[in-house]
Amino acid sequence: MSRAAPLTFVLRSMSLNSVSVRNIKSRSRVFPLFILGGYSKSAVICRCLGSNTYHKLCIANKIAKTRLMTKTPSSSAQLHIDTKHMDSLSRVKRVSIEGNIAVGKSTFARLLQSQNQDWEVAQEPISKWQSVESTSSQAVGSAQPTVSNLLQMMYQDPQRWSYTFQTFSCMSRMRTQLQPPPARLLYAQGTPVQVFERSVYSDRYIFALNMFELGCISAVEWAVYQDWHSFLLEQFGHRAQLEGIIYLQAPPETCMARLRKRGRGEERGVQLTYLEKLHVQHENWLVNKSTELHFEHLKQVPVLTVDASVEFERDPEVQERLITQVQTFFSGL
């Protein structure tokens, strides 16, 4: 068959009538993909479609036990999909660690990572916020980009930079949550879990909401933020949904002491009153359940509240107790 010969791929599924498929970019030509039994949607798919790309297509649209083939069953281009691999992906649980600034999320995340190879931690993308590259509109093509510390800018002038920061932080969290799990989790013997330091949900219902209530985000900015946040999760939410939340709970005074101890430069101006407000936001969402949520599945996500007021970094006994709590929680997801 010549390289330019057209190919039409047909997706067959026992229970599928239609599916919404986005454009898929690849290194080769694109060809139409039709849905048997529906034809309500169409997409483009490459001739060189690999199994990994196809798995992502299936997962993104929740297709189970499907087969991709050419119109000619005898064609050598027929592809059989490893449904076991797809089932393995669905086994991976997604959990976020939530809590106040300096409550000990990173320390707790490292503890989880060290205890079980079936648990994979995705760190909070702080480094992205500390080095945002930009180029002046006045610069010529050869100009070097400017690197800005958006986290520091937000703390120094929250009235000016809170909306910009929350927009960028939410997008970076979304990218993190949309990343597929590492291959080793797909073949885990126990309960494979992807653990995220915070989530796109705490970005909205803790930090952005808090900045709005403090007057650092205007009513118009808050309306815009909520609108695009809801839209993004309507489009990609099924890929970013959580099966569980671990809430590290500690008094604001404890968090303040830890914040001072770690000495992160951007946080020098953080006051106890700010941590107290964030504590209230966490309690309202995860304990009192009084925060207005806009996603039905989020209202049903189980929450494990962990006492993070005790020092656990160098206490094996406390660590063992915490790990037992987490293991029990993960097993029930």
Catalytic residue numbers read: 197
What is the rounded CA–CA span in Å between residue 264 and residue 256?
A: 12
Report the chain's C-alpha Rg in angstroms: 23
- 3-class DSSP state of 330: helix
What is the rounded CA–CA span in Å between residue 157 and residue 166?
A: 13
- 3-class DSSP state of 99: strand
Instruction: Please provide the DSSP assignment of 161-214 as one string.
Output: HHHHHHHHHHHHHHHHHHSPPPHHHHT-SS--EEEEES-HHHIIIIIIHHHHHT
Query: CB 197: neighbour CB atoms within 10 A?
Result: 21
Residue type, 188: A
Instruction: Count Cβ neighbours within 10 Å for each residue of 118-156 and write b for 16 or more, e otherwise.
Output: bbbbbbbbeebbbebeeeeeeeeeeeeeeeeebbbbbbe
Instruction: Give the containing element (helix H, strand E) for 226.
Output: helix 219-240
